[in-house]
Structure 1
Amino acid sequence: MRAAYITEHGPSDAIRVGSLPVPVPGPGEVLVRVDAVAANHVDTFVRSGAYATEMTFPFVIGRDLAGTVVHQTESFPAGARVWTNSMGHNGRQGAFAEYVAVPQDRLYTLPNGVGPIAAVSVLHTAGTAHIGLYREARIRPGETIVVVGAGGGVGSAVCQLASAAGVRVLAVDRAENAEWCREHCGAAAVIDRGSPGIAGQIATLAPSGVDVYWNNSGRHDFDEVLPIMARGGRIVLMAGMGSRAELPVGAVYTKDISLHGFVISNASAADLRAAAETVNRELRSGRLRGRIRAELPLSEAAKAHQLLESGTNDKPGRVVLVP
């Protein structure tokens, strides 16, 4: 089979595309023929070695896939359309291949009517959003959430899942993403991140305080954020692996504020299954949707990583590949 893999850690041009043996499913695994995959920023960290995880070389890259079950198993019939979002780390070979052996406890049925490309554009981001919103922030209907970087992949999924849960969403992003945030992410208001006095604008929109503040930007200014938080507010920290910030500790404990940092890579199978139930429900409803920046053949896996690492934001959306 054809696969995109690495034989050692390195830059994007370390990715090779060539022939590897079709994996033989072990106990509790299901052989899946891959229909589409998506490239994630965390994949570039695994490839480069910035995110240390167990792997065996040659190592197939990639987390997410949508595909079709090849052989009948106890849990899945042959021909079943399925998806997963937790391959390519912690000893599991990745998704960028024609065939993947997926642990059945990390494999989920794809809802009828949902195409593989549409699915893979949201699997990783929505899984992350669910864990952050429900396990970490413990969102409740009627609360207010501020999402910084709301037009990005994770940001969009956070807004969509929060809005579906009855949470009031205030989005912060570039002006060109405002329409997307309003029309497709359920934002009650959108603040231009380039405008002055963002904290003041948020305070006007949420005079009783912000219950959850989710920052995808990697830039954390707690001196601005803490005064606009409600008592018992939760701050979710995402992105910015090298970021450092000053924390006004007094304002944290006197307002019962909690800080939450997490990565989906550490999620348990139970966490991921709970997220999958929400992801499938929202895929069926049509409320969960992503934007696609580029659709590439598997042979251009290195280009996919280059697009992620380029730092350019001229075209928002996900990078999807088809074997």
Structure 2
Amino acid sequence: MKAAFFDTTGAPDVIRVGDLQTPEPKGDEVRVRVLAASINPIDTYIRSGAAPMPLPKPAITGTDFAGVVDAVGPDVKYFRAGDRVWGSNQGLLGRQGTCAEFVCVEEKWAYHTPNGVADDQAAACALVGITAHLGLFQRAKLTQRLPDMGRQETVFVNGGTGGVGSMVVQMAKAAGTKVICTVGSDEKARLATELGADCVVNYKTDDVAARVKDATAGAGIDVWFETVPPTDFDRTVDLMAPRGRIVVMAGRAARPVLPNGPFYVKGLSLVGFAMFNMTAGEQVACAENINRWLSEGKLRALIGARFPLARTADAHTLQEENTLRKSGTLTGKIVILPAA
């Protein structure tokens, strides 16, 4: 089979595309003919060595996938050949990645793809959708209303058109809450509004604190979802509602100061998580809602670029230019199409 792989960590040019042995499913594995994969920042961190992990040699890159089951291991219970599936959690913690014509996946990490949902959408929603769902519902315990206060909960997300941020906006709206987000351009503001954001703040031109206070009528934010490395907890804590929850899931090297006094007086919570450390059982609940919202048209991925398998290194370069160097040349996810 054709695959995009690397033998040593380093810059994007360590990725080669060539022939590898087609894997055979063992135990509870399903073999998926990959029709779409997607690139995430974690894929570039693993490839570069910034996020050290056990890796097979050679290591196929890619975390997310969507495609068709073409063979199953002897212990598989829930899938059969011909099933359309999607999933994530590959290409890390010793598992082979998804930027290949085939990938073998333990069935606990695979989910049925709903009828009418395109493979590129399923793949592009995978890691970012599961991450957003875990942060909102498993970690922050998002609810529709605050009975004691007689109002909707309000969710704030930095980067409302980013991979995770766009999922947070849509999921929070699907759950019946008010959503405020930041963006960096008028075009992204339009996109965020289309996704359902009630208030969109341009962090380059607007006074973010003033806009948030105005949008919440001074009540503050109930769930602050931080998709970028946090730098100013003083501002965040000041804008939080009593008993609010702050979610962090990025910024390995970030060391922001926490204003202890106002933090505990407001009764706030600070929760963090890494999606790939969450159990399969925790993640399957996310997949069930993602499938329902995809089917209902309440959730969609913003896809900013598509590449054939032969250009996987270029896809990594584009991801790094935007994640690390903030070039602003990408809005949405990068999809790899192995059959293109």
Normalised-by-shorter TM-score class: over 0.9
Contact kept, 8 Å, 2:155 with 2:180, in 1: the verdict is yes
Deviation at 1:158, TM superposition (A): 0.4
Distance 1:52 1:131 in 2: 23
Q: Which residue of 2 aligns with 1:129?
A: 132
Deviation at 1:55, TM superposition (A): 1.6
Q: How does 1:231-242 map to 2 (within 5 A)?
A: 231-242=242-253
Q: Which residue of 1 aligns with 2:149?
A: none
Deviation at 1:71, TM superposition (A): 2.4
Deviation at 1:221, TM superposition (A): 1.0
Q: Does 1:156 align with 2:159?
A: no
Distance 2:107 2:3 in 1: 21
Distance 1:113 1:147 in 2: 29
Q: Which residue of 1 aligns with 2:281?
A: 270
Deviation at 1:240, TM superposition (A): 2.6
Deviation at 1:98, TM superposition (A): 0.6
Deviation at 1:267, TM superposition (A): 1.2
Q: How does 1:92-107 map to 2 (within 5 A)?
A: 92-107=95-110
Deviation at 1:196, TM superposition (A): 4.2
- Summarize deviations over 1:166-200 as a string: whole Å, max 9, x none: 1110111123211111112x111111111343112
Give the share of equivalent positions with the same residue, in percent. 40
Deviation at 1:219, TM superposition (A): 3.9
Q: Which residue of 2 aligns with 1:59?
A: 59
Distance 2:46 2:97 in 1: 11
The equivalent position to 1:305 in structure 2, one of 312, 316, 321, is 316
User: Aligned partner of 1:23: which letter?
Assistant: P
Q: Which residue of 2 aligns with 1:17?
A: 17
Deviation at 1:241, TM superposition (A): 2.5
Q: Which residue of 1 aligns with 2:201?
A: 191
Distance 2:78 2:228 in 1: 40
Distance 2:179 2:281 in 1: 27
Deviation at 1:132, TM superposition (A): 0.3
Q: How does 1:138-217 map to 2 (within 5 A)?
A: 138-141=141-144, 142-174=152-184, 175-184=186-195, 186-206=196-216, 207-217=218-228
Distance 1:315 1:89 in 2: 24
Q: Does 1:320 align with 2:335?
A: yes
Distance 1:74 1:271 in 2: 19
User: Aligned partner of 1:139: which letter?
Assistant: L
- Summarize deviations over 1:201-254 as a string: whole Å, max 9, x none: 211111212101112232431121211211111111232322221111111111
Deviation at 1:268, TM superposition (A): 0.5
Q: Which residue of 1 aligns with 2:122?
A: 119
User: Aligned partner of 1:13: which letter?
Assistant: D
Contact kept, 8 Å, 2:305 with 2:334, in 1: the verdict is yes
Distance 1:223 1:71 in 2: 53
RMSD, matched Cα: 1.2
Contact kept, 8 Å, 2:25 with 2:71, in 1: the verdict is no
What secondary structure does 2:198 align onto?
Answer: strand
User: Aligned partner of 1:222: which letter?
Assistant: F
Distance 2:310 2:229 in 1: 31
Deviation at 1:314, TM superposition (A): 2.7
User: Aligned partner of 2:170: which letter?
Assistant: Q
Deviation at 1:156, TM superposition (A): 0.4
- Summarize deviations over 1:140-168 as a string: whole Å, max 9, x none: 00200111111111100001001100111
TM-score for both structures, normalised by structure 1: 0.97
TM-score for both structures, normalised by structure 2: 0.92
Q: How many residues align?
A: 322
Q: Structure 2: any 5+ residue segments left out of the alignment?
A: 145-151
User: Aligned partner of 1:102: which letter?
Assistant: V
Distance 2:24 2:294 in 1: 31
Distance 2:40 2:201 in 1: 26
Q: Does 1:283 align with 2:294?
A: yes
What secondary structure does 1:310 align onto?
Answer: helix
Distance 1:150 1:260 in 2: 20
Distance 1:129 1:315 in 2: 20
Q: Does 1:229 align with 2:240?
A: yes
